[in-house]
A and B are shown apart, each in its own frame.
Chain A
Amino acid sequence: MADIEQLARDARAELEAATTVAELDAAKVRHLGKSGPLVLLLGDIRNLPPEDRGHVGKEGNVARRQLEEYVAARGAELADAELDAQVARDVVDMTLPARAVPQGTLHLLTQTRRLLEDIFLGMGYAVIDAPEVESEWYGFSALNTPVGHPARNPTDTFYIEGHDANAGANDDALILRTQTSTAQLRTMQLTKPPLYVVHPGRVYRRDDIDATHSDMFHQMEALAVDEGLTLAHLKGTMEQFLGTLFGGKLEIRLRTHFFPFTEPSVEADVQCFNCMGSGRAPEGDAQGEGASDKCRVCRGEGWIEIMGAGMVDPNVFEAVGYDADRVSGFAFGIGIDRVAMLRHDFPDLRHLFQNDLRFVRQFPGRP
């Protein structure tokens, strides 16, 4: 019969000699595994003389338990040390370029369109959509723009091939709409007053493409029709809208103008948000070569011409079956592209449509 004490001493020595978790596991298997001498001895206990079984079993189990406790404690100790060593080795220079996790950008026009939409949504207006290919009736006649008005001429407006007979004087001729005001008509045809809507959309004109002109650009139309609306409501709405858009309380200046579909018609100027109307370049504005002391946003005017507006002409109401004696309304149109250029300070409209990603990426988006 093997000496339990000796077996335990041998096992202990080998376990203590292990310096890694792997060595410890191997020694554990040798001594405490199925064929470990102590395990075999305890497994064979029924073959011992009855008087030995008791103390051998007791001593053997105590020795095994002690060894197992040692393995558990030592194992944890070694694993901890190994993890520390591992972590100490796993150093990464986190400042090197990251993986290129892609992040896109919304186009400035979309950012601007949403901003304009959101301001009006907050004021209780709905956003509506409208077609871009229109008839002369929607594009001109119903907007009180008579035959002979220069805008109706094929030199100014795109006509659709095959639908351009007697262009300029034919309600059924087809055009690319030149203004978002067409949406006024369609929404009034569908909805009874009161009506508070905006319509952002695309329009086309026969203009040569340069820094401030394009054969395609974007406008947002606003239309309010209700009982008792006046020019004062138009002014108040513009003030609220433009103040939110450009930040702060900005003054509005109305100038008499002419649009066929509104009467009275006005152009609205907003106090320059850059110089707050002083016309002088604010401190901190770029003072590079050629810089002047004039505000570069309003060119020293103190005002920015921002939109055309007016009270809806009774003839427009008549075209859609509204009763001009009962309701009145105001409408205005603002250039989305122009707002983007003003807010983001770039001088050339073409950037918006050239889609050089070096431009697009500059505006990650805080509409």
Chain B
Amino acid sequence: MIVPYAWLTEYISGDAPDIEHAAELLTISGTAVEGITQFGVADAGGAQAAHFVVGRVIEFEPHPDADKLRLVQVDIGRDAPQQIVCGASNFAQGDTVAVVLPGGTMPDGMQIREAKLRGIDSRGMMMSERELGLSTNHDGIMLLPGDWTPGTPLHGHVPLGDQLLELEITGNRPDCLGVYGVARELAVAAGLEFAPGALPELAPTGRSHVSDFVSVDVQAGDLCPRYMATAFTDVTVGPSPHWLRARLVQAGMRSINNVVDVTNYVMLLTGQPLHAFDSDQVAGRQIIVRRATEDEPITTLDDVERKLTTDTLVIADALRPAVIAGIMGAAHVEVTAETTTLVLEAASFDGLSVQRTSRRMGLRSESSSRFEKGLDPYAPELALRLAARLLTDLCGAQLVAGVIDVQAGGALPPLPVVELPAALAPRMLGIDIDPTDAEATLHALGYATEAFDDHWRVTVPHWRMFDTTRPIDLVEELGRFRLAEVPSVLPAVTSGGALLTGPQRLRRLLEDVAVGLGLHEVVTYGLVAPDSATSLGVDEEDVVRLANPMTVDHAELRTSLAPSHLEVARRNVAAGTTDVAIFEVGRTFHAAPDGTLGADGLPRFAHERDVLAVLLTGELGYGRWDAPGVPVDAPAAVGVATALLAAAGIEADVRALPNPPQWLHPGQVAQLHAPLDAPATSGLPAGAPGPLVGWVGALHPRFTRAQSVEQPVYVVHLDLAAIESARTGVATFTAYSEFPPVLEDIAVVLGDDVSGGAVLAAARAAGGELLEHVTVFDRYVGAPVEAGHHSLALRLTFRAHGRTLTDQETADVRATIVTALAERFGAVLRS
């Protein structure tokens, strides 16, 4: 909200602080000042006051050398007339005009100097409204009321300039959506008195009664707690006086006519919007506050025909809606130049209803932006009385007798009364507040207090009745003007020593190891394009989608990090970085049925899993500058995956995944399992894989090419929770043998459908305790091995605790392994 500072200070008695200091005081106490700007003539009430004066045209004659210029003698209150050359022609002898004298600085920064225009001396300028920033009117110069004395400073009649405070009003403070509210805040913060002046009484001057002009029927009291109306006769609609127009323009509004301007001025002042109807256009002289019917039409002031819905509150006449309540009026009851009788509405509407209607219709106004914050039902009376005085003063209006005042439930809601324990503010704020000072603050803010031994009974003023209802709210009132007094104290943290949890430490460990392996960490969006999940083969019902996405490419929650990482690869490859080795610990989402609980027993609304995802493409490490590099291949990807798992203490059991989802390379995917003796394992048969902790593989070339990535791309996916539960706790020492190992090599012929991982696992299971280690050291295809088969050479490492193995023992274990492989895979020992 914009508040002209000089306007604001009119309601503060005593010397108001300078605007910078005021801005700081307001900002600290809760009315954040976002900017200070100059409007109109700078320093208009100070150094510039003498340069902008009232003038009166004594006489004029045509410029001898220029058809369109006039040579004007202007009375500016001095002995001699001031000679000014002027291009306008909309004035006559005796007119009162606005003059800027040499030495003046215009709002646009132009310096006024004595000059010669076509050879004639000109000492100043007669100004148009546009030149003063009062309107866009530049048709001619401003003509001023004839009773203004020549030579008097213009600023005494019209605020020529002001400094504007740009304020951020928080949602809890609709009272600060008016100049009064902000002035009260500043007065309290500066230790001055808020002095709005006495509220004018309603003083009827007409003979008629309001009931002669309008009746009010509130049918939707739930949305309209209060509806006040009165009427005026003998209204002369015309332009507003200059001071009023200047205030409106400075506050960011346009001047319409004197009637509308008064309602807007009072709104700017109090925060309470008003609405004026042309009484003669109100059909049936009836005002009905009701919900609209479905598709009921209204043509609003902006000349747009709109259709209403049944939850829209309208102010209707006997025939049709006349106002969308609190938002915008209809054209047909608009105040025009022909209007002579007025009905003035001052009402209170349900904020939420106004907010919803405003949002649904995409229609916002100064009025709706105030009502939607929830205005109090006492304010309409204040606004009505101020407006009545101004309409009487400025529009020649006669106020009729009587005021209509319909209150839902027959009464206004009572003002809150709050019991504030004296000890509460110090207990929450950590400062001592003198009880007298505390009361003084509350009184200055408009609260009434009654002191008891250990508490105050506080009555809340109407403009804070929705915001301040509890003791803690009053604590804030006391605290917000004393924030600078709050000391810095460190609490004695009593919750015990802190350590990252196991999963948190695992995450850090894996991140660090990934970095050590040469991977760069990325952070990608959690929201992805629609159908990302289904294109990865995720079931429709497992996907979590947004009901209201902002953009088409951020429409659902990711089920996998792979598509985002492929996009990162694509961008980097396109930018010339062809070697991309990245990782991310990120969250994936799958739909969870209603009633799902987490391990902590609290509800979960989706299955959220933290995943370590890796993407590798291009060359990965140890390349030489003078030799071609080695592109990432499947073993490299498996190496990265197993290294990460090894760092977590898991010796990966890598198993083939024969039928991977379509987006993966059908021949290059493997699953990663924890060993069978992992803690989470129970009752699985020997040789079976342990718990699944992730997978590694190549993306299908069709999938990567769709993203314009031509080079092979490998990904690793590790489930952190699965790893955490498969990890042993604190590692404990295992004694190792002091005796030498026995190495033996065997070669077996296997069908090509048998995977090495399964063979190793089976060998491990069959080898038992004496088999310390088994690995593959050769894989051979070709004669004499028959087609569809290959020869796999295994190196077996045997060792026993506490003794040297005998030849017989190793031969027996070896035979057991060979037998197991023969039975399981049809393996044939090569001699």
Contact = CB atoms under 8 A, between A and B. Distances in A.
A151 B476 CA distance: 23
A358 B520 CA distance: 11
Contact of A231 (B486, B501, B518, B523): B486
Interface in A60-108: 96-97, 99-107
Interface in B607-663: 608, 619-625, 629
Interface in A189-231: 189-190, 194-196, 202, 204, 206-208, 215-216, 224, 226, 228-231
Given A190-B602, A196-B493, A256 B476 contact: yes
A328 B427 contact: yes
Contacts of A202: 526, 587
A37 to B, nearest CB: 44
Interface stretch (A5-13, A16-24, A257-265, A281-289): A257-265
B476 A161 contact: no
A47 interface: no
A232 B429 CA distance: 6
B495 A195 contact: yes
A170 interface: no
B494 A353 contact: no
Contact of B526 (A154, A216, A237, A258): A216
A276 interface: no
A104 B516 contact: yes
Interface residues of A, number: 97
Contacts of A229: 491
Contacts of A46: none
Which of A100, A236, A257 has the largest count of B CB atoms less than 10 A from its CB? A100
Given A104-B514, A232-B430, A236-B489, A133 B608 contact: yes
B135 interface: no
B470 interface: yes
Given A107-B523, A354-B571, A235 B487 contact: yes
Given A97-B625, A160-B545, A232-B487, A124 B493 contact: yes
A296 interface: no
B548 A154 contact: yes
B589 A133 contact: yes
Contact of B495 (A110, A126, A233, A253): A126
Given A107-B523, A232-B489, A264-B480, A190 B600 contact: yes
B547 A167 contact: yes
B220 interface: no
A125 to B, nearest CB: 6
Contacts of A126: 495, 498-499, 501
A105 B515 contact: yes
B698 to A, nearest CB: 20
B500 A121 contact: yes
* Main SS at interface, chain A: mixed
B768 interface: no
Interface residues of B, number: 101
A248 B381 CA distance: 55
B605 interface: yes
Nearest to A125: B498
Contacts of B500: 117, 121, 127
B497 A161 contact: no
B436 interface: no
A273 interface: no
A164 B551 CA distance: 18
Interface string B562-590: 00000010011001010011111101010
Interface stretch (B24-32, B61-69, B222-230): B24-32
Contact of A328 (B428, B527, B548, B572): B428
B430 A230 contact: yes
Contact of A356 (B488, B494, B575): B575
Contact of B488 (A132, A194, A239): A239
B520 to A, nearest CB: 5
B557 interface: yes
Given A96-B625, A147-B352, A311-B428, A256 B550 contact: no
B549 A158 contact: yes
Interface in B503-534: 503-504, 508, 511-512, 514-527
A355 interface: yes
B479 A357 contact: no
Which of A155, A160, A233 has the largest count of B CB atoms less than 10 A from its CB? A160
Contact of A196 (B428, B495, B501): B495
Contacts, number: 286
A233 B491 contact: yes
A124 B495 contact: yes
B488 A263 contact: no
A231 B622 contact: no
Given A133-B606, A158-B546, A255 B515 contact: no
A255 B600 contact: no
A256 B583 CA distance: 42
Given A202-B526, A355-B524, A135 B30 contact: no
A254 B486 contact: yes
A102 B520 CA distance: 10
A314 B604 contact: no
B78 interface: no
B488 A236 contact: yes
Nearest to A169: B352
A353 B571 CA distance: 12
Nearest to B487: A232
A174 interface: yes
A257 B32 contact: yes
Interface in B23-65: 27-30, 32
B521 A258 contact: no
B486 A206 contact: no
Given A133-B557, A264-B475, A164 B548 contact: yes
A82 B619 CA distance: 40
A102 B517 contact: yes
A150 interface: yes
A258 B487 contact: no
Given A235-B488, A355-B522, A314 B470 contact: yes
A125 B493 contact: yes
B605 A174 contact: yes
A240 B515 contact: no
A114 interface: yes
Nearest to A186: B602
Contacts of A97: 625
Contacts of B517: 102, 104
B355 interface: yes
15 contacts: A99-B624, A104-B521, A106-B512, A110-B521, A132-B608, A133-B589, A160-B605, A164-B547, A164-B548, A232-B430, A235-B486, A256-B28, A266-B483, A267-B32, A357-B577
Given A102-B581, A265-B476, 11 more contacts: A104-B583, A123-B493, A126-B501, A148-B355, A204-B527, A232-B489, A236-B491, A237-B491, A257-B30, A355-B572, A360-B520
In the A-B complex, the 5 residue pairs with the closest CB atoms: A102-B518, A232-B430, A230-B430, A256-B30, A124-B493
